[in-house]
Chain A
């Protein structure tokens, strides 16, 4: 998640600017629009989630490459069975996630919940609610830590 901290810090700065406007006037300036904070949160959520997606993709790619190098066919066969011409990013996210996190872990369930939110935002059906970016940051960091622990 190489750009994660930059995105977090930029969101913090933007959120503080919205907060300053709120504190001064009790409402956002007319130019920003009534849903501006919600839209701001959602835009940053997508950026933060993309960092997790990138991490998962990178880990899966490394796993597949390592798996295909194993001399013993019995260990190699499942990795060989994956279509070598298919880009890793084209493997459905939930499948990629299951390759790097135990599905019994709470972090797996959190990641799926975040993925559902990501889909909801990306398809324009959730523009009427803000996102707790701080909660998302905590969950994404916990998920990323778990992925990075797995050799």
Chain B
């Protein structure tokens, strides 16, 4: 196996400040809340599906690194069907190559929703069970496919 000469090590960005992390957490909470609102609105009525909203406390290593001691409460969504259910939970704001990630617990196995957008313009992507390493836009149609397995 080859290895790399780290000629650019000195160019690494400085670690974020507590104020930057706190601002990011507010933005993350708002993005998650908006996404959960949207997904809940996409659950069809009259088809035996029950929507349960709630919150989950999340503590991330980067929060501890800047001295934040209290976890953050973030929105979660569960959808219960006749035979099974799915749960969507925020995983972490700080996931390199993304602007945050949520876990999707599903009868076909866990998968991810990630924000690949930029500040102010989220781009939510889903890794569908038909191809767990290729993301697709998280559309209404893709969400309905997720719901099919629990109906």
Contact = CB atoms under 8 A, between A and B. Distances in A.
Interface of A: 8, 12, 16, 19-20, 22-23, 34-35, 38, 45, 50, 53-54, 57, 89-94, 115-120, 122-123, 125-132, 134-139
B61 interface: yes
Interface string B128-151: 000011110000000000000000
Given A89-B3, A94-B8, A132 B98 contact: yes
Contacts, number: 109
B110 A93 contact: no
Given A16-B110, A117-B96, A22 B8 contact: no
B96 A131 contact: yes
A57 B1 CA distance: 10
Interface of B: 1-9, 11-12, 15, 60-62, 64-65, 91-92, 94-98, 101, 103, 105, 109-110, 112, 114, 116, 127, 132-135
B12 A116 contact: yes
* Residue picked from B103, B110, B114, most chain A C-beta under 10 Å: B110
Nearest to A127: B61
